[in-house]
Chains A and B, each alone.
Chain A
Amino acid sequence: MVDAEPWASILDIVAGVLLVGGALLSLAAAAGLVRFPDALSRLHAATKPQILGLVLVVVALALSQRSWAALLVLTPVIVLQMLTAPISAHMVGRAGYRTGDFDASTLVVDELAADVADAGRSDLPGSAEPTDRPTGRAPRSDASGEPSGEA
């Protein structure tokens, strides 16, 4: 362990760079919160630092601590966040779709509108808009075939 000092400084610098990367991801989410027009677009930006930013910061913390005990305690942070972040994002996206808090003209294809129409739910926003694109009656069979959007 004669040359432990340069490795320690290199690991500290790598940890600092990873911290700046995680912070930049959080800043990107904040910029998306300001710039994007509706709630579902903001949700897309907001879910980026929840996994990758946290992974970067946790790896930076493990590199700066350099102990197996810290790594053992830091692993559940990432595992729990990976388990719970998709649930919360799914629930927020569901609430955003149901409250109609999105601009339907920006969508390439609304894959939920056909199912909403089949379910006969007139209170959901997918059934309110006119079905001018051919995604109608059999969405499961020809979903992979023809690109129905105007992309």
Chain B
Amino acid sequence: MSILIIIASAILSVAAIVALWRVVRGPSIVDRVIGSDVLLTTLILVVGTEMVATGHTRTIPLMVVLAATALLGTVAVARFVTRPEATATHTAATGSASARPDETEKGMD
């Protein structure tokens, strides 16, 4: 059984290193986000594997917190990526469409 745990740990180490390589090398920020997501998932699996290997249950709350908050950074970066194009289009459309300022004020509300 311990040899299986050693094999699983080695595979998880390779996966974490490859995900970190993608985070460093990723051509776009979406690639980096996906790589960091894989790295975080691998970290959760490493925490579980370590608990199986040593036989304690002290880091189960760490698994719960990581599984619950894994989406926060991803959603924040995804919104950060898609936000500037939308606001630029919106301001361009409102600036070109209306000539009178009161119409602009009504449109802004």
Contact = CB atoms under 8 A, between A and B. Distances in A.
Contact of B11 (A23, A43, A98): A23
Which secondary structure dominates chain A's binding surface?
A: helix
A76 B64 contact: yes
A61 B48 contact: yes
Interface in B8-46: 8-9, 11-12, 14-16, 18-19, 21-22, 28-31, 33-35, 37-38, 41-42, 44-45
Interface in B44-70: 44-45, 48-49, 51-52, 55, 57, 60-61, 63-64, 67-68, 70
* Contact residues on A (Cβ < 8 Å of other chain), bracket: 35 or more
Interface residues of B, number: 54
Contacts of A42: 22, 31, 34
Given A57-B45, A88-B75, A80 B68 contact: yes
B60 A73 contact: yes
A131 interface: no
Interface of A: 9, 12-13, 15-17, 19-20, 22-24, 26-27, 29-31, 33-34, 39, 42-43, 46, 49-50, 53-54, 57-58, 60-61, 64-65, 69-70, 73-74, 76-78, 80-81, 84-85, 87-88, 91-92, 94-96, 98-99, 101, 121, 123
CB-based closest 9 A-B pairs: A16-B4, A30-B18, A91-B78, A23-B11, A88-B74, A88-B71, A57-B48, A30-B15, A23-B8
